[in-house]
Chain A
Amino acid sequence: MQWINENLYISPINTYIDPYKPVENAIITHGHADHAKPGHKNVLATKETINIMKIRYGENCAENFQELPLNKTLKIDNVKITFYPAGHILGSVQVLAEYKGEKINFTGDYKTKKDKTCENFEPVRCHTLVTEATFGLPVFQHPNEHNEIKKLLRSLQLFPERPHVVGVYALGKAQRIMGLLRQQRYDKEIFIHGALEKLCNYYIKENVFLGKFSKTNLKDKKEYQGEIILAPPSAIKNVWSRKFEDPIICQASGWMSIKQRAKQSLVELPLIISDHADWNELTDYIKLTRAENVYVTHGRDEAIVHWCKMNKINGLALSLSGREDEEDL
Chain B
Amino acid sequence: MKGFSELIDKLLLTSSRNRKIDILCDYFKNTQDPDRGFALAIITNSLELKNIPISKIKEIVRENVDAELFALSYDYVGDLAETISLIWPYKENGHLPQISKMISILKNIKKDELSKKIETFLSIANETERWALIKLISGGLRIGVSSRLAKTALAKFGDKKLDDIEKIWHGIEAPYETLFKWLSNLGPIPEIDLKKTFNPMMLANPIEENDFTNINSKNFVAEWKWDGIRVQIILDDFNIKIFSRTGDDITQTFPEIKCLQKELVILDGELLVGRDYIPMNFNTLQQRLNRKKVSLKHIYDFPAFVKLYDILYLNNKDLREKNWNERRTILESWYCKNKNRFFDLSKIINFNSWKNLAEIRKNEIIDDQHEGLMIKSKYSPYIPGRPKGYWYKWKKDPKTVDAILMYAVRGHGKRSSYYSDFTFGLWDGNQLSPIGKAYFGFNDNELKILDKFVRNNTIKKFGPVREVEKTFVIEVAFDSVNSSTRHKSGVALRFPRIKRLREDKPISQVLQLSEFKLEFL
Point out residues on A near B: beta carbons under 8 Å: 137-141, 236-239, 241-242, 249, 257-270, 300, 302-303, 306-307, 310
Contacts and interface: CB of A to CB of B under 8 A. Distances in A.
Contact of A259 (B9, B76, B416, B417): B9
Given A141-B86, A237-B410, A266 B72 contact: no
Contacts of A261: 463
B79 A139 contact: no
B13 interface: yes
Contacts of A140: 86
B131 interface: yes
A236 B464 CA distance: 13
A137 B15 contact: no
Which are the 8 A-B pairs with shortest beta-carbon distances?
A139-B86, A139-B73, A303-B72, A266-B416, A139-B87, A137-B73, A264-B464, A138-B87
Interface of B: 9, 12-15, 65-66, 68-69, 72-73, 76-79, 82-83, 86-87, 89, 127, 131, 410, 412, 416-417, 455, 463-464
A259 B15 contact: no
Contacts of B82: 139, 258-260
A270 B13 contact: yes
11 contacts: A138-B87, A140-B86, A257-B127, A259-B12, A265-B464, A266-B410, A268-B14, A269-B13, A303-B68, A303-B69, A303-B72
A305 to B, nearest CB: 10
A265 B409 CA distance: 10
Given A242-B417, A266-B416, 19 more contacts: A138-B69, A138-B73, A138-B87, A139-B86, A139-B87, A140-B86, A239-B417, A258-B77, A259-B12, A260-B77, A260-B82, A261-B463, A262-B13, A263-B13, A264-B464, A268-B13, A268-B15, A306-B72, A310-B66
Contacts of A249: 416
Most central of B69, B89, B127 by chain A CB within 10 Å? B69
Contacts of A138: 65, 69, 73, 87, 89
B73 A303 contact: yes
Contacts of B412: 266
Contact of A139 (B13, B76, B463): B76
A260 B455 CA distance: 24
Nearest to A260: B79
A257 B86 contact: yes
Contacts of B12: 259, 263
B68 A306 contact: yes
A240 B479 CA distance: 37
Contacts of B77: 139, 258, 260
Contacts of B410: 237, 266
A137 B82 CA distance: 13
B72 A238 contact: no
Contacts of A269: 13
B13 A260 contact: no
Nearest to B465: A264
B37 to A, nearest CB: 25
Nearest to A307: B69
B452 to A, nearest CB: 9
B68 A264 contact: no
A257 B128 CA distance: 10
A241 B87 CA distance: 34
Contacts of A141: 86
Nearest to B8: A259
B5 to A, nearest CB: 11
A300 B127 contact: no
A303 B65 CA distance: 13
Contacts of A307: 69
Contacts of B78: 260
Nearest to A300: B76
Nearest to A239: B417
Most central of A238, A264, A270, A303 by chain B CB within 10 Å? A303
Contacts of B66: 306, 310
A308 B14 CA distance: 40
B72 A259 contact: no
Contacts of B417: 236-239, 241-242
A241 B417 CA distance: 7
Contacts of A302: 72
Contacts of B14: 268
A137 B69 contact: yes
Nearest to A303: B72
Nearest to A272: B127
B69 A259 contact: no
A141 B88 CA distance: 10
A131 B19 CA distance: 44
Contact of B131 (A137, A237, A259, A306): A259
A22 B77 CA distance: 36
Contacts of B65: 138
A206 B127 CA distance: 38
A265 B410 CA distance: 9
A236 B79 CA distance: 26
A218 B417 CA distance: 17
A259 B13 contact: yes
A31 B9 CA distance: 36
Contacts of B83: 139
Contact of A258 (B72, B86, B455): B86
Contacts of B69: 137-138, 303, 306-307
A42 to B, nearest CB: 35
A97 to B, nearest CB: 31
A199 B463 CA distance: 28
Contacts of B76: 137, 139, 300
Contacts of B13: 259, 262-263, 267-270
Contacts of A306: 66, 68-69, 72
Nearest to A159: B19
A174 B439 CA distance: 34
A264 B142 CA distance: 13
Contacts of B73: 137-139, 303
Nearest to A266: B416
Most central of A238, A242, A249, A266 by chain B CB within 10 Å? A266
Most central of B12, B79, B417 by chain A CB within 10 Å? B417
Contacts of A137: 69, 72-73, 76
Nearest to A140: B86
A265 B416 CA distance: 9
A257 B245 CA distance: 39
